């Protein structure tokens, strides 16, 4: 029997119901995993080229419905329509890229010389549980689906109940090209995730989301020693050096790196570190850029670049962080403009803010805000800036901004981050060839890059030592290898 239905409102117009889905109870999760295990036999045995061709065909079917999917995603998430189109287009690219790279990466590696013969084969794990968040529901699933599927795994996706619809259709389209039960969806909340992650028929878990949920999933997977890939939160610092470009192009890029998806992105800029001598100049340039590029309003309206936050609770949390900092003497500067046709009272809207005069130990600085606000911290020396940037137990991403690229790379080497951008941040700095993931408590494992494909495989080795092959010199029965 299905669990209770999940209803999803439009965060831009909370009186509008986007739709509802039935939550999968543990029995339905069990049945889904059972079907996946049956499908695994044939899919893993399918020749690599045929798997890749099927994934490409699925990507083509998604591309054919891109506009309708983008509107659906905008309505369920509150992300602006151009961002939703961009995300879906990039997801299609990721699926195709995964297929292209797999045909080179997943062939057997053979070494045959006087030392012996070694064959390294890349074996799929089996059934992969992909637990994904609401804020980029399709691309964060595609980064798991593409590599896992081309590697011969089958996948069960558990989306966020805050964004269940677009990804469900994407999985349906992809599955129509791959065959029955190779890729499936189970909808639900924490109970569904627990049933899936803890299932004995799941061979690997790939998770993207917040630290609290990540801790629970890692602990549950650990009980059955199920291997995991964890991409958790970040509190990314953007470190501007003394020679940083504060011109319009750079500042427009920095503002959007902060406030895209209303700041609800794990790799968004969360802290701005600025030389004290340039603080006033920076604030003026940043505010001017925000006036150019931030227009708050309904995600479906033309020209709107920032929409609501996802829930009332999210709005309350971010508002409380800003108000609390203000009670301690900080100043919140409202940024950007409001679209003329917007009715902000209908949704979970927050005006984006730049917070000045905040202390380094304020929760607005030490916690991941995950909303449309960002603090500015002035520094007097590079060593102080590095100490500020490296504070805390998160290490997802960071950025260095400088006219001297060599110096920027040298400073980046001293930052505690899994991925450091130079003169950009967030999605404009991503590359399919560069592995992405965190250090410290921002997770483990990598997506993107060749590493992102290989993450979903296990290297299995066959070895015939040269000493014991025909004509070999032999080796003592208890000897160590030479």
Q: Report pLDDT digits (tens) over 426-460.
A: 999 999 999 999 999 999 999 999 999 999 999 99
* Residue 28 near residue 21, CB atoms below 8 Å: no
Radius of gyration over alpha carbons of the chain, in Å?
Answer: 24
Question: How many CA atoms are closer than 13 Å to the CA of 438, on its beta-carbon side?
Answer: 24
- pLDDT beyond 70 at 304: yes
Q: Strand 116-124 vs strand 457-465: parallel, antiparallel, or unpaired?
A: antiparallel
Q: Where in 59-175 does DSSP place strands (E)?
A: 109-113, 116-124, 127-131, 154-158
- Report the length, in residues, of the chain: 482
**Helix and strand totals (H; E) in the chain:** 15, 22
Query: Choosing from 9, 76, 231, 455, which is the catalytic residue?
Result: 231
Give the 3-state DSSP-derived string for 192-222, with helices as H, strands as E and coil as C: HHHHHHCCCCCCEEEEECCHHHHHHHHHHHH
* Residue 93 near residue 63, CB atoms below 8 Å: no
Residues 36, 128: Cα–Cα separation, whole Å: 9
- pLDDT beyond 80 at 410: yes
Encoding tokens for residue 389? 């940037």
Query: Choosing from 28, 84, 87, 266, which is the catalytic residue?
Result: 266
Which residue from 414, 416, 364, 415 is spatially nearest to 395, judged by alpha carbons?
416
Q: What is the pLDDT of residues 104-157, one digit of tens each?
A: 999 999 999 999 999 999 999 999 999 999 999 999 999 999 999 999 999 999
Q: Strand 127-131 vs strand 154-158: parallel, antiparallel, or unpaired?
A: parallel
Distance from the Cα of residue 70 to its chain's centroid: 18
Percentage of residues in the chain with pLDDT exceeding 70? Answer: 99
Grade residue 5 by pLDDT with cuts at 50, 70 and 90. confident
Provide the mean pLDDT of the chain: 97
Q: What is the mean pLDDT of residues 22-47?
A: 98
- For the chain, first and last CA: distance in Å? 61
Encoding tokens for residue 263? 């700041």
User: What is the rounded (10 degree) CA torsion for 239, 243, 246, 247?
Assistant: -140
- pLDDT beyond 80 at 3: no
Q: What is the mean pLDDT of residues 370-382?
A: 98
Residues paired with 228 in a beta bridge: 205
Question: What backbone torsions phi and psi does residue 22 show, to the nearest 5 degrees?
Answer: -85, 130
Encoding tokens for residue 174? 């992809």
- pLDDT beyond 70 at 329: yes
* Residue 98 near residue 55, CB atoms below 8 Å: yes
- pLDDT beyond 80 at 201: yes
Which residue from 452, 77, 388, 447 is spatially nearest to 235, judged by alpha carbons?
388
266 is catalytic: yes
pTM for this entry: 0.96
Element (H, E) at 147: helix 139-150
- pLDDT beyond 70 at 77: yes
Encoding tokens for residue 308? 């609501």
Q: What is the pLDDT of residues 78-89, one digit of tens each?
A: 999 999 999 999
Orientation angle between helical segments 81-105 and 66-77, nearest 10 degrees? 120
Residues 169, 167: Cα–Cα separation, whole Å: 5
Question: What backbone torsions phi and psi does residue 331 show, to the nearest 5 degrees?
Answer: -115, 125
Element (H, E) at 399: strand 397-401
**Poorest-confidence range of 2-6, 26-30, 333-337, 349-353?**
2-6
Q: Strand 439-440 vs strand 204-208: parallel, antiparallel, or unpaired?
A: unpaired
Residues paired with 457 in a beta bridge: 124
Which residue from 293, 290, 232, 304 is spatially nearest to 79, judged by alpha carbons?
304
Instruction: Give the pLDDT of residue 1.
Output: 47
Q: What is the pLDDT of residues 254-271, one digit of tens each?
A: 999 999 999 999 999 999
Encoding tokens for residue 97? 């890229």
Instruction: Give the pLDDT of residue 454.
Output: 98
Residues 59, 71: Cα–Cα separation, whole Å: 18
Instruction: Give the pLDDT of residue 466.
Output: 95
Q: What is the mean pLDDT of residues 419-428?
A: 97
Instruction: Give the pLDDT of residue 467.
Output: 95
368 is catalytic: no
Encoding tokens for residue 21? 């889905």
């Amino acid at each position: 029997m299905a669990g209770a239905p999940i209803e999803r409102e439009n965060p831009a117009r909370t009186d509008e119901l986007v739709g509802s889905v039935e939550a999968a109870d543990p029995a339905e999760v069990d049945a889904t995993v059972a079907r996946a295990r049956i499908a695994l036999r044939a899919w893993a045995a399918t020749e690599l080229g045929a798997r890749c061709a099927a994934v490409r065909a699925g990507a083509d079917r998604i591309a054919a419905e891109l506009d309708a999917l983008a509107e659906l995603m905008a309505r369920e998430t509150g992300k602006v329509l151009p961002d939703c189109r961009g995300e879906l287009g990039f997801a299609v690219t990721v699926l195709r890229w995964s297929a292209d790279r797999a045909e080179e990466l997943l062939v057997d590696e053979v070494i045959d010389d006087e030392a012996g013969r070694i064959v390294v084969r890349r074996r799929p794990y089996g059934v992969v549980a992909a637990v994904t968040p609401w804020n980029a529901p399709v691309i964060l699933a595609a980064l798991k689906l593409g590599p896992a599927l081309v590697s011969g795994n089958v996948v069960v996706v558990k989306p966020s109940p805050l964004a269940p619809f677009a990804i469900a259709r994407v999985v349906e389209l992809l599955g129509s090209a791959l065959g029955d039960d190779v890729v499936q969806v189970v909808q639900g909340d924490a109970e569904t995730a627990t049933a899936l992650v803890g299932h004995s028929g799941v061979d690997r878990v790939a998770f993207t989301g917040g630290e609290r949920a990540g801790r629970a999933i890692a602990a549950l997977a650990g009980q059955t020693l199920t291997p995991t890939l964890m991409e958790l939160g970040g509190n990314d610092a953007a470190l501007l050096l003394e020679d940083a470009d504060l011109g319009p192009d750079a500042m427009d890029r920095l503002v959007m790196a902060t406030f895209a998806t209303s700041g609800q992105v794990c790799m968004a800029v969360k802290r701005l570190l600025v030389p004290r001598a340039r603080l006033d100049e920076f604030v003026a340039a940043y505010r001017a850029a925000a006036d150019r590029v931030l227009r708050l309003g309904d995600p479906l309206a033309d020209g709107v670049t920032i929409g609501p936050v996802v829930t009332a609770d999210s709005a309350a949390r971010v508002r409380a962080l800003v108000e609390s900092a203000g009670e301690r003497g900080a100043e919140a500067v409202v940024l950007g403009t409001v679209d003329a046709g917007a009715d902000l009272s209908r949704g979970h809207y927050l005006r984006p803010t730049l917070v000045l005069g905040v202390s380094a130990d304020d929760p607005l600085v030490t916690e991941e805000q995950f909303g449309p606000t960002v603090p500015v911290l002035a520094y007097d020396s590079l060593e102080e800036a590095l100490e500020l940037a490296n504070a805390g137990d998160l290490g997802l991403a960071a950025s260095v901004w400088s006219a001297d690229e060599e110096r920027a790379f040298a400073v980046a080497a001293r930052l505690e981050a899994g991925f450091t951008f130079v003169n950009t941040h967030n999605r404009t700095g991503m590359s399919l060839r560069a592995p992405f993931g965190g250090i410290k408590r921002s997770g483990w494992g990598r997506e993107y890059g060749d590493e992102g494909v290989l993450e979903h495989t296990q290297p299995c080795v066959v070895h015939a030592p040269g000493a014991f092959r025909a004509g070999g010199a032999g080796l003592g029965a208890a000897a160590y290898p030479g």
